[in-house]
């Protein structure tokens, strides 16, 4: 699916100081990414703090992004969790007509076996109205979806079309790239390894920092995909410090500091997360000032 190649971003959910969703700020985030050259938007991924949103709030986020995007960019919707039957019901009842694909994280906390992971995604595949991107992020889920499981899913179900791989292990990424079926997309889920993954044969990234610095990040990705490795790495090194800083105290506390710096959204997160400390804010602001001094 060409719509899922390139630079995708997992959008934040901006909050007001009282904890309510900041609809105006969310619209500004969408516009910032459209104008910055991002290829597609991921709505209600884990970066959106989706596990802390009510059903009504999730619908508000969806409709807000749909309205702000106005059909300009492809949209991917996050529908993931550790209750397989609950997700099956959600996929059967949600209006997903505005979306191109589903991003679904491997079950967290339960720590299923590889067979359990396979059966989970099989159940989702059988009812999904849209293509599925499976998402492996062992640092958050407590289990690693191994390359053989990803390849088995890709070969077994035509509507499982891509993996967002955030294992942080380039050896595992290389194994995926070498063993994947033709047409199956390997998307990086780690900003810091996004370009190395693309240079090795990957198809793009679903990024966090990209939504804050869409011009620089999308240029990095596109130059990498076009084989202009030296030029792509210029952007990578320009962004590298920020890629590390924004995750230092948990996601999305760091990226929200960038949006505060840009005057787009406030830095509030929901418990059990905490907003970035003053020390981290200072370092992120210093990073942003250094990036802005360097022409895109």
Q: Which residues are catalytic?
A: 135, 164
- The CA angle 60-64-68, to the nearest 5 degrees, is 175
Q: Up-side HSE of residue 68: CA atoms within 13 Å toward CB?
A: 23
Token couple for 141 = 């889920």
Q: At what angle do helices 23-36 and 214-225 cross, to 10 degrees?
A: 40
207: nearest Cα among 3, 9, 41, 5 = 9
Residue 148 · residue 202 · CB < 8 Å:
no
Cα dihedral 276, 282, 283, 289 sign: positive
List the structure tokens of 78: 């996050």
In angstroms, the CA 265 to CA 14 distance is: 6
* H or E element, residue 172: helix 170-179
Q: Is omega for the bond preceding 252 within 30 degrees of 0, making it cis?
A: yes
Is-cis flag, bond preceding 68, omega within 30?
no
The Cα–Cα gap between 255 and 276 comes to 9
Are the C-beta atoms of 252 and 274 separated by less than 8 Å? Answer: no
């Amino acid at each position: 699916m060409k719509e899922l190649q390139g630079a995708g971003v997992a959008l934040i959910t901006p909050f007001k100081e009282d904890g309510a969703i900041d609809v105006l700020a969310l619209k500004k985030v969408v516009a910032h990414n459209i104008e910055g050259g991002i290829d597609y938007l991921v709505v209600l991924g884990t970066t959106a703090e989706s596990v802390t949103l009510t059903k009504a709030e999730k619908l508000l986020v969806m409709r807000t992004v749909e309205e702000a995007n106005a059909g300009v960019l492809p949209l991917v919707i996050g529908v993931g969790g550790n209750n397989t039957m609950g997700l099956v019901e959600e996929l059967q009842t949600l209006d997903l007509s505005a979306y191109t694909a589903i991003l679904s994280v491997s079950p967290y906390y339960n720590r299923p076996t590889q067979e359990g992971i396979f059966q989970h995604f099989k159940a989702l595949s059988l009812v999904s109205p849209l293509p599925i991107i499976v998402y492996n992020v062992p640092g958050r889920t407590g289990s690693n979806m191994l390359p053989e499981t990803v390849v088995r899913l890709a070969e077994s179900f035509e509507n499982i079309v891509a993996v967002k791989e955030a294992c942080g292990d380039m050896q595992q990424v290389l194994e995926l790239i070498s063993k994947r079926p033709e047409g199956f997309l390997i998307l990086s889920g780690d900003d810091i390894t996004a370009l190395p993954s693309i240079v090795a044969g990957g198809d793009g990234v679903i990024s966090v920092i990209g939504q804050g610095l869409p011009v620089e990040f999308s240029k990095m990705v596109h130059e990498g995909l076009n084989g202009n490795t030296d030029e792509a790495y210029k952007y990578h090194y320009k962004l590298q410090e920020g890629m590390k800083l924004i995750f230092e105290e948990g996601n999305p506390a760091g990226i929200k500091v960038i949006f505060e710096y840009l005057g787009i959204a406030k830095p509030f997160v929901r418990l059990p997360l905490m907003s970035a400390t003053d020390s981290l804010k200072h370092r992120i602001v210093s990073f942003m000032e250094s990036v802005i001094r360097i022409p895109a």
